[in-house]
Amino acid sequence: MKKGIIAISIAMALLSITNACAVNITDCATLSSGTYYLTQDIINKSVSVCMNVPRNAHYVTLDCQNHLIDGSGSGYGIYIDEYAGYVTIRNCRLSDWQRGVFFRQSGDSLVENTRVESSQSCFVVHGYETWCPCDLNVTLRNCSADSCANGFYIIGYTGTPSEVIYNITIDSCEVSNSNAGIKLDETLNNTIKNTKIHHNDYGVWFINTFYNHFYNNLFNNTHNLNFQTHNPQFWNTTRRSGVRIYGTGEIGGNYWTNYTGNGYSDTCTDADSDGFCDSPLLITPYPSPQYDYLPYSYLPPKVVCRFIDCSMLSPKREFFFLQVCHLINWWFCTPLAIYLTFLMILIVGTVLKIKDMIGK
């Protein structure tokens, strides 16, 4: 009983500490370290910055609880200032800003389950320093951008000399009805995956950007890609099991389509029925040929029966066991073999039973 009372007291003390750290807000605010919950919509706000995470602020969480932060066509919806870090923005809806969510030379942060629409730039990660390259480590996950000039805009310092920023991830997002779905400018080594990029004038816009990695994305835009400058990029990952952004099958490259449904993925040959086009897709011949080596096919892959996974067995070192594994798979995946097995068991069982009866 005494132990129970102590446990309850500790739990209540922890709860009061948590509550003390969490702040409910109803309007635009400056967010220093702590957790903030927006408890009502903000409509037609006319300010230069609404939610301000100031310079050097750390460990800031803003949870809008799906409330709307609406501006009046100018200013910043959420502004994360220089050297701020460990910032989490989640469950926010923003509209009608010059810039919706804006990182100014800040990083080590996450934006998730957040939607920005009808703004000049929906999401912006901007490097300003002249001493970059800078590893910003910003992840945008389950976010959507709609009806913006730039949906997701990743931009380094574009002065002279230009200085790149890197390590920004766009994962499981959606961008639509924008001029540039994703614009990459003075940046490198970013990852864009599991993302639907559709009904934009330009799906992805490239300006002095290198070694970005695209995989498991859906492209369906007026122009899927726009190369203002041609630099090397990567267009697929290793073929493996996963959830396709469109259709069914293993993951690898991307689904390439257009408004009339006769894009490369819609029309390619998949003679071996593995769910991937049989030929790589040439993305651009410049500066040297770039390919999506695993473009998705519109055809669902042939279902392969596999009783045991043999892929972990080496064809050289474990040849015998590999053949046994294949034999077991063949046996259990062949209806006639299964039928014959049961028939044999039935016959042997019946013979034994008869022998037993005669013996008695």
**Contacts with Ca ion, residue ranges (CB under 5 A):** 44, 70, 96, 270, 272, 274, 276, 278
- Nearest residue (CB) to Ca ion, 70 versus 146: 70
Instruction: Read off φ and ψ for residue 282, nearest 5 degrees.
Output: -75, 115
Query: To the nearest whole angstrom, how small is the minimum distance from the Cβ of residue 296 to Ca ion?
Result: 10
Q: Hey, which residues does 193 pair with through a beta bridge?
A: 171, 215
Tell me the three state secondary structure of residue 243.
coil
Tell me the three state secondary structure of residue 50.
strand
CA distance 272 to 281: 17
Query: To the nearest whole angstrom, how small is the minimum distance from the Cβ of residue 231 to Ca ion?
Result: 29
The residue number with the shortest CB distance to Ca ion is 96
> Are 283 and 290 a contacting pair, CB within 8 Å?
yes
Query: To the nearest whole angstrom, how small is the minimum distance from the Cβ of residue 268 to Ca ion?
Result: 8
CA distance 298 to 277: 9
- Nearest residue (CB) to Ca ion, 66 versus 142: 66
Q: Which helix (H) or strand (E) holds 226?
A: strand 223-227
> Are 233 and 290 a contacting pair, CB within 8 Å?
yes
> Which pair of structure tokens corresponds to residue 188?
């490198």
Cα Rg for the chain, rounded, in angstroms?
Answer: 28
- Nearest residue (CB) to Ca ion, 140 versus 251: 251
- Nearest residue (CB) to Ca ion, 70 versus 81: 70
Query: To the nearest whole angstrom, how small is the minimum distance from the Cβ of residue 220 to Ca ion?
Result: 21
Determine the longest span between alpha carbons in the chain, in angstroms.
102
Instruction: Read off φ and ψ for residue 141, nearest 5 degrees.
Output: -130, 135
> Are 178 and 202 a contacting pair, CB within 8 Å?
no
Query: To the nearest whole angstrom, how small is the minimum distance from the Cβ of residue 96 to Ca ion?
Result: 4
Query: To the nearest whole angstrom, how small is the minimum distance from the Cβ of residue 315 to Ca ion?
Result: 22
- Nearest residue (CB) to Ca ion, 46 versus 229: 46
- Nearest residue (CB) to Ca ion, 76 versus 276: 276
- Nearest residue (CB) to Ca ion, 41 versus 278: 278
Query: To the nearest whole angstrom, how small is the minimum distance from the Cβ of residue 139 to Ca ion?
Result: 28
Report in angstroms the alpha-carbon separations of 228 from 180, 183, 253: 12, 11, 23
